[in-house]
Structure 1
Amino acid sequence: MGFDEHKEVGEKSGAKKEMINTDNEELDKLGRQMSDNSLYTTDHEEEDYEGKIELGPQFTIKEQLEKDKDDESLRKWKEQLLGSVDLTEIGEALEPEVKILSLSILSPDRPDIFLPIPEDGKPKSPWFTLKEGSRYKLRFTFQVNHNIVLGLKYANTVWKTGMKVDSTKEMLGTFSPQPESYTHEMPEETTPSGYFARGSYSARTKFLDDDNKCYLEINYTFDIRKDWLST
């Protein structure tokens, strides 16, 4: 997940754009945009989002509203964020809880692929198979409980034969606790094509917040083949 040949880097790691191997026509088709130091990154390297950030003391939702009552703009923002949330049902928890409920891959070329989320974060290999040169995007649903989650992020890193070929990071936003689930779709991407693009990849997906609390980590493998698997 994370193979768009044409989109701007945005939050992708590294500002310098570099093709994997400009001397090789097949590898050029991968069209990856990577930083110099991303070429030899192993899966033991920490993600940028994992740095230590001190955000100060935490408060329950009721405490946050009380302490901000004199700041009209901040109070209105939090009230708008909370919407119709029943504070009597939220409780007094300091830590938000984010549960990823479902993950699926959407492609105009085939029915949606629903990905089961294992409890240990290690799906059976390969977790899914993508067709080379196909358009696809990731959709996931999640639920927030107990407290407001600040700066929820999606981070995904992909390796092939030990070489990092993609690093995608996207800010999802700030969410209040509510009974209903949230749904988010990632931007559409295109899988690479060609002989060197096909094969097995390893990857790691994480969902983190501004305090670098990780709500889900999945380490998995996937394949890129000439065609979709038969359904």
Structure 2
Amino acid sequence: MKLQNFITSCRQQMDEKEMQNLELDSAQENYVPPPQKSVSEIFATDANDESLNRYKQALLGQAKSGQVIVDPTDPRNVLVRSITLVVEGHPDITMHLDKGYAQFRIDQSLHEIAEHLNEASFVIKEGAAYRIRFDFHVQREICTGLKYIQKVTRHSITVDKETFMMGSYAPKMEMQSFITPLDEAPSGILHRGTYKIKSQICDDDGHDWLSWTWSLEIAKDWGD
């Protein structure tokens, strides 16, 4: 009976989410991104317009003086370094993603290392308010329409699907960040357990900068 109640609850949640996602998917289907332009092409456009040049200089910064390359061994333009659970009343939990495996830190202390990226797992207390912060580098060219997509399943049932529009970013040597709106972990015995999350960071030009699967365990209390 508890399983049936859980399935019913999931379906009710999905009905609401599906309506939101249908609207989002429809908007995305109708959206045609502008043609991709390189940094040099952008600077060459309307080169005699001083006010526009000042705007481009402010927008593109370091890219004006030449191609910005953070890691010459990595051909990607977007290098996702980590995701962090930013939780009210609890130290941040960071999962490092840039080595092909997960490395966890809780409040700057090494917590767990050398897990395969697709086997990584977070533990969060039920009812906790949290945000997810992404830290990344952008190199070589501008990234337009960066977005984070996630699909959440439990017992092979999809319980959530969301797309977060992260924005557009110029290449620079410094780390850049995006943080999601405040959310709350579900609570109650029926919602406790492990959720599988399929994640993707991509952009309007169809580049898949990082795709991975991880787990989020909703527990009665923190697991640290």
> Taking structure 2 as the reference length, what is the TM-score of the superposition?
0.72
Please give the alpha-carbon distance, in whole angstroms, between the structure 2 residues aligned to 1:120 and 1:220: 11
Aligned-pair identity (%):
28
Is the counterpart of residue 34 in structure 1 residue 14 in structure 2? no
Q: Deviations over 1:163-213 (max 9, x none)?
A: 211112111111111111112221111011112101111111111111121
State whether residues 149 and 209 of structure 1, in contact with CA within 8 Å, keep that contact through their aligned partners in structure 2: yes
Secondary structure of 1:109's aligned partner: coil
Where in structure 2 are there 5+ consecutive unaligned residues? 70-74, 103-115
The 8 Å contact of residues 102 and 116 in structure 1, kept in 2 or not, is answered as: yes
Compute the TM-score of the two structures, normalised by the length of structure 1.
Answer: 0.70
Structure with the higher strand share, 1 or 2: 2
What CA distance in whole angstroms lies between the structure 1 residues aligned with 2:144 and 2:217?
Answer: 34
Q: Deviations over 1:67-93 (max 9, x none)?
A: 3436777655433311344433448xx
Aligned residue in 1 for 2:222:
228
Equivalents in 1 of 2:84, 2:153: separation in Å?
A: 21
Any stretches of 5+ residues in structure 1 without a counterpart?
Answer: 1-22, 39-46
- Alignment RMSD (CA, Å): 3.7
In the comparison of the two structures, how many residue pairs are matched? 197
Letter matched to residue 165 of structure 1:
V
CA separation of 1:176 and 1:159: change in aligned 2, threshold 3 A: same
Larger relative contact order (CA 8 Å, sep ≥ 6): 1
- Which structure has the highest helix share of the two? 2
Residue 117 of structure 2: which of 116, 123, 126 is its match?
Answer: 123
Per-residue CA deviations over 1:141-177 (Å, capped at 9, x if unaligned) read 1111001111111111111111211112111111111
C-alpha distance in 1 between matches for 2:166 and 2:20? 26
- Residue among 46, 66, 73 paired with 2:44: 66
